[in-house]
Structure 1
Amino acid sequence: MISLQFALLGCLVWVLWRVFRQYVVPSPLDVLPGPAPTSFWKGSLGRLFSRHGWDFQNELEDHYDGVAKVTGMLGRKYLYIHDPKALNSIIVRDQYVHEPTTWFTESINLMFGPGLLATYGTVLIPPAFIYMRSMWWCLLGDHHRRQRKLLNPVFSINHMRHMTPLFYKVSHNLRDALAAQVKDGSRDTDMLRWFNRTALELIGQGGLGYSFDRLVEDAPNAFGDAMKALLPAIFSMSLPRLFAPYFKYMGTPAFRRKVLDLLPLPQLHKIAQIVDTMSVQAHMIFDQKREALKAGDEAVMQQIGEGRDIMSILLRANTEASEEDRLPENELIAQMAILVFAATDTTTSALVQTLQLLIEHPDVQEKVRQEIAEAKENTNQDIPYDRLVDLPLLDAVCRETLRLYPPVTFVHRETRADIVVPLLKPITGVNGQLIREIPVQKDTPVIVGLRACNRSEAIWGPDAKEWKPERWLAPLPGSVAEAHVPGVYSNLMTFLGGGRACIGFKFSQLEMKVVLAIILESFRFSKADNGDKVVWNLAGVRYPTVGRESNKPSFPMKVELIAKN
């Protein structure tokens, strides 16, 4: 009883301190313009994390000139930013000061283990501040660099060439399954489900050397369904997940699981079940990979991917690495789960969005189909890698879709030290003074607007919010190069940049182009009977549903077979 009273007293003191700090102690962000909070308790977080929060996103993009102050829980100040010069500071130059938030990395760590998304970059801390927490940051600091060093070679362009036949094989299976569904005439088909299954199988075979789903017509796929439900479930837990950094201090993992099971939070239980499924699968695949490597090259060649998959190469590289760069077993297993987590929903979202836009622009759909046919030169051979990636219209369609509709709308960062963030374009503060740089205090949460930067009219021109693939078929406006957007891909923030750039962005691009090349050659896509009811929901990765209130991700499209292969 006494310990409970102390715990409650501690919570009360923490709340009072936060209120005092946010409402009494001045903050450098107080001079920034921003939307008024809608709640004392949640601030604007209810709007920020709403699945239908697109109006709030549009308000942040359109009404504030690259920078805004957003109010969080108990009045905490958030910096929302998409000014390109500021992004260069946050994403590249000072990336080790602007680390992913503790709640994000700890949530990923609790779910999957210490993989690439759950480790920190190097943080330089003055000797005078080496106290317990600082020492913890320093110890974790080198993990991300070591993991990325081992993973980088398997995402090279040269390795993507070797992966292309495997991607075609999976895409042919998708085509055959769709053809079986629509052989007797056009039919409304949930393409989100098919693309989700395809993306899972692509990362399964290409990433893990394992087949999750043979893409047999209407075959059940519990693992794929669980993955599809994971990110919406996480996004809906906007407030509980803020306490993730403290959960690891609650005794042993077994004790924490018992506490979790007792909490009256159905969504949290659902997340735990999904994670359990992925953990069992990851350990099983890891054991198979390890035994095959021990047995020698012949055993490796008998596996799916013939040893060219990411995990086989990673395990071999880890064995050959120096002791200081070698990763322990739990980190290798975590990479497997995180690869599947990071690659499945993002690719699915991008493919579905691309197909939706081609339905809305049937003339472009026909032109892409013609370009694919001409590239095949009247043969039944798949388009070689070098020719496929250079198809101008297909490439333009993919780039423009990823520009306007990035699967991830924004990411979170948190400052590990006091820092000054410069601005490309000065803004006027609420006090009427011109602001050219923003002092940001340690522990300030930062929201990086990826979608906002991609849609900036100052960068892309007055038609920035229009889907126009042809913009990529001519020289881009000079303002694009002048902005120096720090993205790793096509002057876009879709795949981030710097040391935290999406390591698999070439893998994702190749997946999209191979799948589109195969299905557009064989099928014509148009709006389903209930296509007008489809809405896109805001989440960690955006996803569609039929109707605003539906909790089931889905996107029906009318599919017509136009070529038999």
Structure 2
Amino acid sequence: MMISTDTICLLATFLVALYIWCRYNYGYWKRHNIPFMTPLPLIGNTKVMFTLSNSFFLYLSDIYKDAKMSKAAAVGIYILNKPALILREPELVKSVLIKEFSKFSNRYSACDPHGDALGSNNLFFIRNPQWKELRTKISPVFTTGKIKQMYPLMLEVGSQLEAHLASHIKSGNSFVTEIKEICALFTTDLIATIAFGVQANSLKNPNAEFRREGRKFMEFNLGRAFAFFIAFFYPNWVTKLKIKIFSPELSSFLRRTISHVITEREKSGLTRNDLIDVLVSLKKESVEKQEYNQVTQDVLVAQAAVFLTAGFETSSSTMAFTLFELAKRLDLQERLRNEICEALVAENGKLSYETIINLPYLSMVVDEVLRLYPVLPFLDREHQPKDGESQFDLKPYYDYTVPNGMAVYIPIFGLQRDPKYWPNPNTFDPERFRPEKKKLHEPMAYLPFGTGPHNCIGSRIGLLQTKIGLVHILRNHYVEVCDKTPAQINFDPLAIVLQNKGGIYLNVVSDGLYEQSAKK
């Protein structure tokens, strides 16, 4: 079949126009004299997303580590056809997160406000000025005084974790398990009790509703990976593509659960110093102002949603990575277990809040794990100065002014494994975090919880529940590698948070170290 001359001309015209467009569009960073990664036509620097060879969120750190960019303060990339910036220089990171925060007060990412009310209204995604107002109202939950009042409830769940481990010791004195799942059962139960005042019973029944819904939320597949990619890199498309971070099923479960808990708390008048108390107060305030409606209800439930999903996942991942590293270094594990058992003996088997947060070697171990495995491996910010504010520029490094609306990324994983700041950066070495050494760290090269006004509001609770979980696992058990233990961590390319593909299997051995120490 002959192709007509007109068709050939049209095709040629289209190809020429496409070539000219690509040359101009992908010449943006070259025209502005900013170091850049060479893009591919149409997909820019997102090849890894299409080949599934790496998580794009980790690929940001691969760009940070690229030898050609070792002297660059910032690197230009293209998300498909859209220019974006990756920051490498700590001073620029400090400016964006702290010094000039008002110009970067929003994350670049977003959720569909129409189809995903719980996603768009929670503290992680909501935009200024609503973000600032909401954070101010929720902050009281995270004060030291409130956390100390929650501490006894947290210890109860820690005891349930011990009982769960003991129930698996049937024949012999050990069992092989996927340790991340056990950690997630623990953190789900803990968050449920301290935030919502309910017993999730995940440790007793791993298929209980709270854990089942939480597991679904973190199950990543191509569809979920695409949804997160759009939410974080093309937020203007979330409504058109009907992108949902919180599925209808999870949203329905959370609305039903939180509404019931709030109603019961209002009826009883009890005060537990938890998140529900704050949500009850916010509801009362809006009712008095005659502003309570479906939107207000969604805002309340959204905070509980992000508290649950972020709270159980971050701490359980940190616990699992900690146990993985300790299983490979039994000498360091023994040192930590001895510290834990000595403290338990000194306090008759029940550590005080002050003791557990100040156990020196435990703190060093957790800090080092958070350096190696920051659960969220990057930060995103949108450049959006307020009216009357000047635009942010990259001087004295480059003569470039960041345009309004541009995405700026901070590759936490890359910074925290940079040999410039961390000698032998891929080696697990808690000694880096001895008090005298911590004073010498570059502050902007250690950001597991972010920093500045938009830092993680739940970092203290997250650290505390991580430490409680580790104490209750290691007081009478130790972990060791087994045939199913991965030789090295292979991060799941579909996940937004750091997860090992295939899980982390360890052998859990019961040895009663605390009981033995207590008898001496």
Q: What TM-score, normalized to structure 2? A: 0.82
**Counterpart secondary structure, 2:257:** helix
In the alignment, is the contact (CA less than 8 A) between 1:48 and 1:57 conserved in 2? no
Are positions 1:503 and 2:503 aligned together? no
**In structure 2, which of residues 386, 404, 409 is the aligned counterpart of residue 447 of structure 1?**
409
Q: What TM-score, normalized to structure 1? A: 0.76
1:161-560 correspondence runs (5 A): 161-185=148-172, 186-216=174-204, 219=207, 221-229=211-219, 234-237=224-227, 240-241=230-231, 245-248=236-239, 275-297=247-269, 300=270, 307-316=272-281, 319=284, 328-377=296-345, 380-417=348-385, 419-422=391-394, 435-436=397-398, 438-458=400-420, 460-476=421-437, 480=441, 483-485=442-444, 492-532=446-486, 535-538=490-493, 539-546=495-502, 554-560=503-509
Are positions 1:61 and 2:65 aligned together? yes
2:127 corresponds to: 120
Sort the Cα spacing of 1:29 and 1:383 in 2 relative to 1 into closer, same or farther, 3 A.
Answer: farther
Distance between the aligned counterparts of 2:262 and 2:463, measured in 1?
A: 29
Cα drift, residue 217 of structure 1: 5.9
Cα drift, residue 463 of structure 1: 3.4
Cα drift, residue 224 of structure 1: 3.0
The one-letter amino acid of 2:323's match is L
Deviations 1:215-260 (A, max 9, x none): 1165554223213315985334465545653454x6xxxxxxxx96
The one-letter amino acid of 1:57's match is S
In the alignment, is the contact (CA less than 8 A) between 2:107 and 2:125 conserved in 1? no
Sort the Cα spacing of 1:529 and 1:288 in 2 relative to 1 into closer, same or farther, 3 A.
Answer: same
1:40 corresponds to: 41
Sort the Cα spacing of 1:160 and 1:238 in 2 relative to 1 into closer, same or farther, 3 A.
Answer: closer
Where do 5+ consecutive residues of structure 1 fail to align? 1-11, 122-141, 251-258, 261-267, 301-305, 427-434, 486-490, 547-553
Distance between the aligned counterparts of 2:347 and 2:333, measured in 1?
A: 21
Give the root-mean-square deviation of aligned CA atoms: 3.4
Sort the Cα spacing of 1:494 and 1:330 in 2 relative to 1 into closer, same or farther, 3 A.
Answer: same
Distance between the aligned counterparts of 2:60 and 2:237, measured in 1?
A: 30
The one-letter amino acid of 1:198's match is F
Sort the Cα spacing of 1:281 and 1:218 in 2 relative to 1 into closer, same or farther, 3 A.
Answer: closer
**Counterpart secondary structure, 2:38:** coil
In the alignment, is the contact (CA less than 8 A) between 1:399 and 1:469 conserved in 2? yes
Deviations 1:257-281 (A, max 9, x none): xx96xxxxxxx7xx68x62232222
Sort the Cα spacing of 1:420 and 1:42 in 2 relative to 1 into closer, same or farther, 3 A.
Answer: same
Sort the Cα spacing of 1:26 and 1:230 in 2 relative to 1 into closer, same or farther, 3 A.
Answer: closer
2:110 corresponds to: 104
Distance between the aligned counterparts of 1:33 and 1:518, measured in 2?
A: 49
1:72-87 correspondence runs (5 A): 72-74=79-81, 76-87=82-93
Sort the Cα spacing of 1:51 and 1:78 in 2 relative to 1 into closer, same or farther, 3 A.
Answer: same
**Counterpart secondary structure, 1:393:** helix
Sort the Cα spacing of 1:368 and 1:477 in 2 relative to 1 into closer, same or farther, 3 A.
Answer: closer
**Counterpart secondary structure, 1:215:** coil
Distance between the aligned counterparts of 1:391 and 1:228, measured in 2?
A: 31
Cα drift, residue 55 of structure 1: 6.7
Deviations 1:375-398 (A, max 9, x none): 012665321000111110000001
Q: Counting strand residues as a fraction of each chain, which structure ranks higher?
A: 1
Sort the Cα spacing of 1:389 and 1:240 in 2 relative to 1 into closer, same or farther, 3 A.
Answer: closer
In the alignment, is the contact (CA less than 8 A) between 2:30 and 2:36 conserved in 1? no
Cα drift, residue 497 of structure 1: 1.7
**Counterpart secondary structure, 2:319:** helix
Task: Tell me the number of residue pairs that the alignment of Structure 1 and Structure 2 aligns.
Answer: 479
Deviations 1:317-340 (A, max 9, x none): 553589599992221111111111
Cα drift, residue 358 of structure 1: 0.7
Distance between the aligned counterparts of 2:164 and 2:205, measured in 1?
A: 5
In the alignment, is the contact (CA less than 8 A) between 1:404 and 1:451 conserved in 2? yes
The one-letter amino acid of 1:291's match is T
In the alignment, is the contact (CA less than 8 A) between 1:47 and 1:56 conserved in 2? no
